[in-house]
Each structure stands twice: as C-alpha cells, then as structure tokens.
Amino acid sequence: MSDVKPGSVGAWVLAMRPRTLPVSIAPVLVGTAVAHEVAEARPGPAIAAGLGALLLQIGSNFANDVFDFEKGADTEHRIGPPRAVQQGLLPPAAVKRGMWIVFALAAAVGVYLASVAGPAIVVVGLVSIAAAIAYTGGPYPLGYHGLGDIAVFVFFGLVAVVGTTFVQTATLPPLAFLAAVPVGGLATAILVVNNLRDVDTDRVAGKRTLAVRFGRGAARLEWALLVGVAYAVPLALWLGGGHSPWVMLPWASLSRAVRLLATVRGQEDGPALNEALAGTAQLGFLFSLLFALGLSAQGSAGPRCVPSRSPSPGRSRRHTVSSSGDRVS
C-alpha cells in the first residue's frame, strides 16, 4: 500500500475495509423483502436500517483494526490484506476516535428507527454497538475465545434481518427468522475463511478462533456446512408449498459456491485464501440479493392485505402472520 499516505483519506478508506461493506447491506435487502411479502415495505425505515447497518460495519472495522493491532494479532507477519494501524497509516488513538464518531452516527439513526418502531430498537442498537466493540476489544474479546462465529451469525443474520423486518412491519414473522439463516450463515462463512487463512498467526497471538481450536479441516467443514444450509433454506421454502419457484433464485449462484468450495478445501496459502475470502463476501451479497428478489416476487404475486393502523404515533401498520408466514386478516 505504498500509494496510501499516512493520515490521508485513503488511509481511512483502507480502515473502513470497503470490500466488507456489502455484507452489512445484504440482511437489510432480505429483511425488506420479507416485509414486502408479509405486509408492506416502507422505504424510510428500510433506508435508515441500511444506513445504520453500514455505520455499524464501519465502526466494527475500525475497532477490529485497532484492537487486533494492540493485542498482537496484526503484525508484519500477517498474510491478509494490509491494515491501517498495523501499517502505521493511522495512529490507534485516531482510529478509536473515528470508531466512536461512527457509532454515535449509528446511534442517531437508531433514534429515528426507535421513533418508528418503538424503544426496543434502542436496546437492539446499543447491544449491537457493544458486540461490535467486544468482538476484538474489551476484557473478553469474543473473537479471541472462539465466539466470533456465533456473534457474526446472530448480528449479521438474526438481528439484522429480523430487525429490518420489524422496523417496517412492527411484527416478528417466522419467515424473517428463517430468511436470516442463510444470510447469517454466509456472513459467518466469510469469517471462517479469514480464520482459516490466519491460523498460524492467530495461534501465536493467542487468538483462539474455532480454526485454531479444532484445526483447518474443521474450519473447511464448517464453511461447507454454512454454505450448504444457506442453499437448503430456499429449497425448503419452495418444497414446503408456501412459496413460488421464484424463491429458488439464489440457486443461480450455486456454481460460484462450488468453485469457492474447491479453493477453500484445497488451498492454504494466503493469496489464494484472500481471493476465497473476497469471493465468499461476493457470494453472500449475490445470494442475498437474489433471495430478496425471489421473496419480493412472491410478495408481489400473492394476495395482499391492508393492515390496520396502530393508534401509536409513528408505529407501522400491524397485521397477524401465521406460522407459515402467510398473511391473515
């Protein structure tokens, strides 16, 4: 990164890790598609949810950059992409200030979402910020104790997808929880490749990821299971009889997943796994986009109800959702 000058805008962009940012938008797309199917998507809350998710991702990336450096996980021996603090492009104190500024902006977005969907969103937002910091920071960093995979699945899957649906419909339909599984699984698969690549340096730094604890073979198996389950969800929705074949749109990306599996299974060198990491991130976004389109097509094709308005100001329209996700008057 010799073309990036210390303290420059480019250094801050590097710390943001732009290639990871689509991962934060993917659950918002799917959560909005679920809202469209079970009731009605609302552009204002959807855009705010996307902005909030993007800010949380950037803040988390800042936190990871500085805390991994301070804990010795990012050194001159790392084989992954360059990190701003580790490269001396930004001082740790500046990145920490940037982290808090970004989280403050995310909290401001959360205030708007709370006015739309109720105070529960404030709690969700604060917990999400705390988790973003605790992933690599604090007295018990989750990523250093083998809990990173669970954290990513929960916050990039369940919380992000279900939360996006909730701020638009004021309900928690079962479909949102099911749709969150592939989104969270593919986000976790990105982390698995990252940890597979960094096994040796993480072991030296005392970062006890699942790949360090159980070995490369277990990490490869975990990646395959996460991706396999992701593709199983649309199939289950279709075969269950409640959805049209449109929900199978994500399977158009299956060939890409198969090619990535070959790389993950057969490669150990850094450059190849860097490409697999980027490829898994791209797969996650493509899958989520196709899944959202398939769910949206289902919602447009099916009968729609007009939910009654809640008497509470600022709250979205309410309706009842059956266990299958179908709308009931």
Q: Is residue 61 part of a domain?
A: yes
pLDDT tens per residue across span 300-322? 655 444 343 343 434 433 343 33
**How much is the pTM?**
0.88
The verdict on residue 275 lying in a domain is yes
- pLDDT at site 101: 98
What pLDDT, on the 0 to 100 scale, is given for residue 301? Answer: 55
Backbone angles phi, psi at 320, to 5 degrees: -105, 140
196 is a domain residue: yes
Write out pLDDT tens, residues 269-303: 889 999 999 999 999 999 999 999 999 987 665 54
Angle at 144 between CA 110 and CA 132, to 5 degrees: 5
Contact 173, 321 (CB under 8 A): yes
Q: In 3D, which of 324, 306, 132, 122 has the Cα closest to residue 238?
A: 324
In this prediction, residue 157 carries a pLDDT of 97
Tell me which of 1-15, 163-177, 281-295, 305-319 is least confident. Answer: 305-319
DSSP 249: G
Cα 291 from Cα 293, distance rounded (Å): 5
Share above pLDDT 70 across residues of the chain, in percent, rounded to a whole number: 90
Domain membership of residue 1 (yes or no) is no
Model confidence pLDDT, tens digit, residues 19-37: 889 999 999 999 999 999 9
Note the pLDDT of residue 242: 84
pLDDT in tens, 197-242: 999 999 998 999 999 999 999 999 999 999 999 999 999 999 998 8
Q: In terms of pLDDT, which residue wins out, 81 or 197?
A: 197
In a domain, 163, yes or no: yes
Tell me whether residue 177 is in a domain.
yes
Tell me, what CATH number does 86's domain have? 1.10.600
Q: Is residue 67 part of a domain?
A: yes
The answer as to whether 321 is a domain residue is no
Q: Chain-wide mean pLDDT for the chain?
A: 89
Q: Going by DSSP bridges, is the β-strand pair 320-321/327-328 parallel, antiparallel, or unpaired?
A: antiparallel
Q: How many domains does the chain divide into?
A: 1
What is the domain range of residue 227? 11-302
Neighbouring C-alpha atoms within 13 Å toward the C-beta of 224:
14
